[in-house]
A and B are shown apart, each in its own frame.
Chain A
Amino acid sequence: MSDKPTTSLKDKLFSTIEHEKLQPRSRLFFQCKECSMWLLWLASVLVGALAVAVSLFVVAHRQYALYEATHENFLTFMVQVLPYLWFVMFGLMVVAAWYNFRQTKRGYRYSLVSIIVSSMLVSLALGAALQLLGFGYLADTTLGQQLDMYMSQEKIERQLWQQPEDGRLLGTYAGQVDAATSTVWLIDTAGTKWQIIATDLFPRDQALLRSEQPVRVLGASTGTSSKQFHACGVFPWMMDASITREDLDRERRDFVKKVYDQKYRAEDRLRLLEGDTFGNPSSGQRMDMGVCAELAAVRRIEASMQ
């Protein structure tokens, strides 16, 4: 190997430069390249932050208050509602952030772990801030409105509560059927008009049902041919950015209390019915007492409490 440079290489190179009219690339080219890598890194971190914000919104604001009404137990509830799409998105964005950072001028000097951990921390911190500012809710609902394929929390919640055959109905009050009874009309989200038998509802639930606000009704579909629904509990529609964790906790306490109240009221009625049957005519007519006591939600709450 010779240490003396060959002049021919230099001549060849200059002749190529002359012949092909080569010029050094402009400084702006390199500045733009560096900038674009940083922007791509920033974009990855921001999308990652959005994924964190929506995930936090879903986990913190998920309608866990009434999970016994919709799922067998908390595990099946969580398995169905966790925002996997956003978890995957967050993972992909962390990888993209690492890749883009690695392409910056001095990105190679940092270890894989330090780039990934720092990108994750930035995304987590930004995501938490975005969630506090309401962007988690905004992103989720906006995507839900714009993309048919995207299942926003609102869509999932609507789907879960528009299940009359499973004892759940989502709708709005549409008037009194008959002044003499507690039966009212309710139009569900599919546009179907239901007769709601409200005899077992507590006064507060009765008022909520008649509030003309969207409500969730827990009960049982009773009419075979007509659309009739026996209501056992009424809950406000709570898909809103302003709903706080405290609201959800309160909602859960109310739900458990309502279910217990329904159960014990049913037991009281059973005693009354026994009296009727075995010679204590304390009640004038046979009461429809089984529906609310036999709700799956009541059974599940009892099981979880035991």
Chain B
Amino acid sequence: MDEQQVTDAQIVQQALLNKERFGVLMDRYEAPLARYIARLGIRNPDDQQDVLQDIFLKVYRNLNGFDQQLKFSSWIYRIAHNEAISSYRKKNVRPEGHLIADSEELLSFAAGNLDSAEMQFDQTLNADVIRSGLQALDPKYSQVLVLRYFEHKEYEEISDILQIPTGSVGTLIHRGKKQLARVINTDTVRI
């Protein structure tokens, strides 16, 4: 069977019998998780490596706790999310101003998702404004927006990652977008 066709859940079962198979999961998730924790504010490459190692160790130790009814990606993102949060709590610092996404991603997010009625400056909109707007958001909003629009997760997956009810995901996204539009408008006026 082609390795690409083997599901994550199947690899989890294989890794429980043969730990070398755990390497396949690492290959699949190392880059996306590195990007995700960077979006959550862990920018220093050394810190990223430490957090990634903690994430994969935790995943390995808890393989038997993986609920087969969940998507594996939701489960591993949940662990990554918790590890990232506990990492900057351990260091007793707020997450640094972080690279949410590249400029193209940011502009496509803004074009597709921010209500034009609330945006009076779409011609002058630029990626830096959106980036700083996202960074200025309350983390509970920026976390769902990142997962929804930059990690392209479904509501149910976000619910599983952040461990909040699915209904709350919709509410947070809606409020987050409104707050973002407000922040961006204020910034633009200031500029």
Contact = CB atoms under 8 A, between A and B. Distances in A.
Interface of A: 1-6, 9-10, 12-14, 16-17, 22-27, 29-30, 33, 105-106, 108-111
Contact of B30 (A9, A14, A108): A9
Contacts of A1: 34-35, 38, 99
Given A5-B27, A13-B57, A24-B61, A110 B165 contact: yes
Contact of A30 (B65, B159, B166, B167): B65
Interface residues of B, number: 30
Contacts of B16: 24
B36 to A, nearest CB: 11
B117 to A, nearest CB: 30
Nearest to B16: A24
A109 B64 contact: no
A34 to B, nearest CB: 9
Contacts of A110: 165
Contacts of A29: 64-65
Give the dominant DSSP class at B's interface: helix
Interface stretch (B48-56, B83-91, B122-130): B48-56
Contacts of A6: 30, 49
Given A1-B34, A9-B30, A10-B27, 20 more contacts: A1-B38, A3-B35, A5-B31, A6-B49, A9-B26, A9-B49, A9-B56, A13-B26, A13-B56, A13-B57, A13-B60, A22-B60, A24-B61, A24-B63, A24-B64, A25-B62, A29-B65, A108-B165, A110-B165, A111-B168
Contacts of A30: 62, 64-65
Interface string B50-86: 0011001100111111010000000000000000000
A109 B26 contact: no
Contacts of A23: 61
Contacts of A108: 159, 163-165
B159 A17 contact: no
Given A10-B23, A108-B163, A25 B64 contact: yes
22 contacts: A1-B35, A2-B34, A5-B26, A5-B30, A6-B30, A9-B49, A9-B52, A9-B53, A13-B56, A13-B60, A14-B19, A17-B57, A22-B57, A23-B61, A24-B63, A30-B62, A105-B67, A106-B67, A108-B164, A109-B159, A109-B165, A110-B165
B23 A14 contact: yes
B161 to A, nearest CB: 10
A5 B35 CA distance: 11
A29 B56 CA distance: 19
B127 to A, nearest CB: 16
A160 B61 CA distance: 62
Contacts of B167: 111
A74 B49 CA distance: 70
A6 B16 CA distance: 23
Contact of A17 (B31, B60, B99): B60
Contacts of B52: 9
A303 B4 CA distance: 88
A112 B99 CA distance: 33
B98 to A, nearest CB: 11
B67 A109 contact: no
Contacts of A14: 19, 23
B65 A25 contact: yes
Contacts of A111: 165, 167-168
Nearest to A3: B31
B57 A16 contact: yes
Contacts of B38: 1
A105 B70 CA distance: 10
Contacts of B23: 10, 14
A286 B65 CA distance: 91
B47 to A, nearest CB: 13
A10 B26 contact: yes
A2 B31 contact: yes
A200 B101 CA distance: 94
A5 B67 CA distance: 26
Contacts of A25: 61-62, 64-65
A22 B30 CA distance: 20
A61 to B, nearest CB: 41
Interface in B94-108: 99
A37 to B, nearest CB: 13
Contacts of A26: 64
B31 A24 contact: no
A13 B65 CA distance: 20
